[in-house]
């Protein structure tokens, strides 16, 4: 008689890490929706508040004033507190402030709200990176980072035309009301659905072992017992600022963020002003064009993660597999200068799409934090890393506000191209070997 096979032996291993990735994906969409809805409404807000371009640049920039300096404390929070409780609190806070923007009647009100959103969103990417480091083995991590990073592009590719239609139909205030309510509802869903790997009741032993064997940091330093949590010490901050390798990715993040922040802030005003000079296209038609660069960036970031992990599986060196998408992406970002050499709106959109595709390719750079940061300071390193991205959020809107002359953005595109070149040099000449620094 043949030996009976236990039903449990036939049970396939769970894939709970992909459910967790889906939760992060949707959270990132909401995060960036709340950052960028103001750019869709910018023209109408400028009209209502009588703001010039420099003043509007300051409103755009206000988000970065708190987002950037709060990256370090945000990274510390990501190291000390479990994402299940920390993320819903932050989601609720920034969504509430997003909703408040609908009631703003002056510049000060908008600036204060943008300051609040920046502060409460600051820990989000250090938390995302911490979750992926816990839940995914190293040979899947670039793809996981690419997938959740792609959410910011796919969400905006879909939301840009939708938000434009909402604004045309019911006014700019509705953009903020809808975004705020959505975020508060999602905070409840996150709390109900998220668990760390070691706390997840339905994860299989096989999947947990797969994550551990692949370098996933399942045994998180964070614990339910507050007395057992790591305590932040100031020397840790100086520690993550003391490595040349890490400075390479910090500089790269600033340079990557410059083009990205242009699309988050001045792109829609640029598109609307350009449309006014085109006799054969209206605002509603241009709304669909607005989504194309974001769609290109979405494809770029997915391609970067897939190609990087594919090269790892094919035994390419870590330097080639992880650096190649970033370096190619930075090169393509420099193509933004081509906008200055055409009067065709279609050509401008194609050039901007190519440049933003490159930005998507280079967005895999978060993988360097996961692979190179000191093991117990991944959140803090991610906070410093994203602090430099936050500096781009501060400077870029103001610099473009000064550089643009009425409807002429040519100097702004020269600036963005130059910054992309600096980022390229940082990864080529400063980064060196991709390896974890000791901490």
Residue boundaries of the structural domains of the chain: 14-214+231-429
Assigned CATH class of 14-214+231-429? mainly alpha
Q: Three-state SS for 32?
A: helix
| Per-residue pLDDT, 276 | 65
| Per-residue pLDDT, 344 | 85
User: DSSP state, 11?
Assistant: S
| Per-residue pLDDT, 419 | 96
Burial class (CB in 10 A: 0-12, 13-18, 19+), 245: middle
| Per-residue pLDDT, 229 | 44
- Give the separation between CA 117 and CA 103, rounded to whole angstroms: 15
Q: How many residues does the chain have?
A: 439
Full pLDDT tens readout for the chain, 439 residues:
444 444 444 456 678 888 889 999 999 989 988 887 887 777 778 777 777 777 788 888 888 889 888 877 887 888 788 888 999 999 999 999 999 988 887 778 888 999 999 999 988 888 888 888 888 887 787 778 878 877 877 777 777 677 777 777 777 788 888 889 999 999 999 999 898 888 777 787 877 777 777 666 665 444 444 334 456 567 777 777 888 888 999 999 999 999 988 988 888 888 877 766 665 555 566 667 778 898 898 888 888 878 888 888 888 887 788 888 899 999 999 999 999 999 888 899 999 999 999 998 998 787 888 788 887 777 778 778 878 888 888 889 889 888 887 678 899 999 999 999 999 999 999 887 877 877 5
Burial class (CB in 10 A: 0-12, 13-18, 19+), 265: buried
- Give the separation between CA 290 and CA 274, rounded to whole angstroms: 12
Do 27 and 191 touch, CB atoms closer than 8 A? no
User: DSSP state, 405?
Assistant: B
Q: CA-based Rg of the chain, rounded to a whole angstrom?
A: 22
- Give the separation between CA 214 and CA 194, rounded to whole angstroms: 21
Do 215 and 370 touch, CB atoms closer than 8 A? no
Cα 181 to chain centroid distance, Å, stands at 21
For residue 408, which phi and psi values (nearest 5 degrees)?
-100, 115
| Per-residue pLDDT, 407 | 74
The encoded tokens of residue 283 equal 């605002």
The encoded tokens of residue 243 equal 């490595």
**Tokens 């990087």 belong to residue:** 308
| Per-residue pLDDT, 354 | 96
């Amino acid at each position: 008689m043949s030996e009976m096979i236990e039903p449990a032996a036939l049970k396939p291993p769970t894939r709970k890490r992909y459910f967790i990735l889906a939760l992060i994906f949707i959270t990132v969409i909401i995060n960036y929706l709340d950052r960028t809805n103001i750019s869709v409404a910018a023209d109408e807000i400028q009209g209502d508040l009588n703001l010039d371009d420099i003043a509007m640049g300051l409103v755009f920039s206000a988000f970065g004033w708190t987002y950037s300096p709060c990256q370090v404390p945000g990274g510390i929070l990501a190291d000390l507190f479990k994402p299940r409780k920390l993320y819903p609190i932050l989601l609720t806070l920034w969504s509430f402030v997003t909703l408040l923007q609908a009631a703003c009647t002056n510049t000060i009100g908008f600036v204060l709200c943008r300051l609040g959103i920046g502060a409460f969103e600051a820990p989000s990417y250090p938390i995302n990176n911490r979750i992926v480091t816990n839940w995914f083995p190293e040979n899947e991590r670039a793809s996981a980072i690419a997938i959740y990073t792609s959410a910011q592009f796919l969400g905006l590719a879909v939301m840009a035309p939708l938000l434009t239609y909402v604004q045309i139909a019911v006014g700019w205030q509705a953009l903020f009301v809808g975004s705020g309510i959505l975020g508060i509802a999602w905070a409840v869903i996150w709390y109900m659905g998220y668990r760390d790997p070691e706390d997840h009741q339905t994860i299989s032993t096989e999947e947990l072992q797969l994550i551990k064997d692949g370098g996933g940091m399942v045994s998180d330093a964070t614990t339910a017992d507050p007395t057992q949590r790591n305590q932040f010490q100031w020397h840790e901050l100086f520690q993550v600022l003391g490595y040349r390798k890490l400075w390479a990715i910090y500089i790269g993040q600033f340079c990557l963020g410059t083009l990205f922040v242009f699309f988050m802030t001045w792109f829609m005003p640029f598109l609307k002003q350009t449309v006014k000079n085109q006799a054969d296209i209206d605002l509603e038609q241009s709304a669909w064009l607005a989504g194309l660069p974001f769609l290109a960036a979405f494809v770029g970031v997915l391609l970067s993660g897939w190609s990087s992990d594919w090269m790892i599986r094919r035994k390419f060196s870590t330097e080639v597999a992880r650096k190649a998408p970033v370096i190619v992406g930075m090169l393509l970002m420099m193509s933004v200068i081509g906008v200055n050499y055409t009067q065709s709106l279609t050509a401008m959109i194609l050039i901007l799409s190519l440049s933003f595709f490159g930005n998507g390719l280079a967005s895999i750079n978060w993988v360097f934090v996961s692979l190179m940061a000191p093991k117990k300071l991944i959140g803090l390193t991610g906070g410093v890393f994203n602090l430099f991205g936050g500096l781009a959020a501060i400077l870029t809107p103001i610099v473009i506000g000064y550089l643009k002359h009425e409807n002429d953005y040519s100097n702004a595109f020269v600036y963005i191209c130059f910054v992309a070149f600096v980022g390229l040099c940082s990864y080529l000449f400063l980064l060196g070997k991709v390896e974890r620094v000791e901490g």
